[in-house]
Amino acid sequence: MTNDPTRLEFRDPARGSELLTRLEHVVERAGRRISVMHVCGSHEQALARYGLRTSLPRGLRVVMGPGCPVCVTDAPEVDAAIAVASRGVHVVTYGDMLGVPGQSISLEDARSAGARVSVVYSALQAVEMARRSTDAVVFFATGFETTAVATAAVLDAQPPANFFVLSAHKYVPPAMEVVAASPDARIEGFLAAGNAAIITGYGLFEPFAAEHGLPVVVAGFEPLDILAGLIRLVELAVEGRAEVVNAYPRCVTRDGNRPALAKLFKVFERRDGEWRGIATIAGGDLRLRREYAAWDAREHFDLAPIADAPEASELAGKCRCGAIMAGSAEPSDCALFGKECRPDSPRGACMVSSEGACRIWHQYGLGLRSERELSTLRVRESSA
């Protein structure tokens, strides 16, 4: 791993060690167990990818909340995309969504059975595919507000008539409200998603912090960013200060990216929506406005599930993704975790998505062994 700040890499392990020491002391001085929540799959990815979870102080619990857009895309929404694809229409989507099961099968399963499903890396690529084809191309658009901005940009640029968007985009701030209002979670502060805040600005967290009496720290995604953000967040939580701190100033401002936000809400409107396994989140879904109906897949295609779709899996009832995403349960609390539900045979979205809590826990063996065993895995001492 390189560590070159001129390439915006902030990964100096020596500095990381110092920040970890600081975090340990801040948590120690709290004298109690502190639980904080982050709401961004990329934060969870970074925590896992840099191995930070194996180094965080024992007294600090960093819970992943409903921050995985793949996980919270509701089963009927996935099934709608599958229905369109299974009826012979070319559906394109981000790679993250391919393996997520709807009620029973995933887009990947539909593809194995003959449906036309392709992966795109960008909404622009999806439009390009439509331009080069005479057939309809339906872009199954998932992701939170940062990603929705890209979809808005392509729709605003008058794409071809054979390009359609099936929007399953979601908007995070209302979900934070639901979690904050829930008595189960015992969360003392939020680490807010840095890149979403680039778009929305951090100002919108101020009324949230005041209303719920909880601090919010906006953090970036480099390992040093995360450690710095956690230090500030725990300090605020311990001191009972319900403030908003921007720990990612190189990217985030108070007002955010106004033109991008304007474009987002020019194309999309907020509606109440089902967040898979969690609840109805008021204003949590982003759907195309009437002005963009010409490109709205919901207006043009039959989204009803296909007649011979397999029955919903009986295991679906035992899946605890919802509680896990809300932060009120951990992957190891689910009876299926590590047994019927594994990365190679996922039952719920949290195990499919590379950002799902269950997938990430399984990946580094958490919940599959006791805390005591994990603590003995001090890599440096054990290497020969």
Q: Per CB under 8 A, which of residues 64..93 are in contact with another protein?
A: 67-70
* Shortest distance (Å) from residue 302 CB to another protein: 26
Q: What are phi and psi of 108, to 5 degrees?
A: -65, -45
Binding to another protein in span 349-368, by CB under 8 A: 353-355, 362-365
How many Å apart are CA 35 and CA 173, to the nearest integer?
Answer: 19
Query: Contact letters (x/-) for another protein, 240-279, by CB under 8 A?
Result: -------x-xxx-----xxxx--x----------------
- Please report whether residue 5 would count as binding another protein according to CB under 8 A: yes
Burial 240-275 (b: 16+ CB within 10 A, else e): eebbbbbbbeebbeeebbeebbebbeebbebeebbb
- Please report whether residue 210 would count as binding another protein according to CB under 8 A: no
CB-nearer residue toward another protein: 116 or 300: 116
Give the total of residues touching another protein (CB under 8 A): 92
Tokens 């930070």: give the residue: 52
Contact stretch for another protein (CB under 8 A) within 119-127, 131-139, 281-289, 317-325? 119-127
* Shortest distance (Å) from residue 309 CB to another protein: 14
Residue 38 DSSP SS3: strand
What are the Cα distances from residue 269, in Å, to 49, 155, 266, 283, 292? 35, 14, 8, 9, 11
Per the CB < 8 A criterion, the answer to whether 237 and 36 are in contact is: yes
Strands 279-288 and 90-94 come out as unpaired
CB-nearer residue toward another protein: 213 or 249: 249
Other CB atoms within a 10 A radius of the CB of residue 302 amount to 11
* Shortest distance (Å) from residue 191 CB to another protein: 12
Closest CA relative to residue 150, chosen from 137, 163, 141: 141
CB-nearer residue toward another protein: 134 or 345: 345
Q: Exactly one of 13, 160, 207, 213 binds another protein (CB under 8 A); which one?
A: 13
Tokens 């020019």: give the residue: 266
* Shortest distance (Å) from residue 333 CB to another protein: 21
CB-nearer residue toward another protein: 40 or 81: 40
Tokens 């189960």: give the residue: 184
State whether the Cα torsion 220-43-97-300 is positive or negative: negative
CB-nearer residue toward another protein: 21 or 304: 21
* Shortest distance (Å) from residue 64 CB to another protein: 11
Q: Is residue 96 exposed (0-12), middle (13-18) or buried (19+ Cβ within 10 Å)?
A: buried
Q: HEC string of 198-215?
A: HHHCCCCHHHHHHHHCCC
Q: Exactly one of 77, 79, 96, 285 binds another protein (CB under 8 A); which one?
A: 96
* Shortest distance (Å) from residue 319 CB to another protein: 17
- Please report whether residue 316 would count as binding another protein according to CB under 8 A: no
Per DSSP, 309 falls in state: P
* Shortest distance (Å) from residue 82 CB to another protein: 16
- Please report whether residue 104 would count as binding another protein according to CB under 8 A: no
- Please report whether residue 22 would count as binding another protein according to CB under 8 A: yes
Binding to another protein in span 137-196, by CB under 8 A: 143-144, 146-147, 149-150, 153, 156-157, 193-196
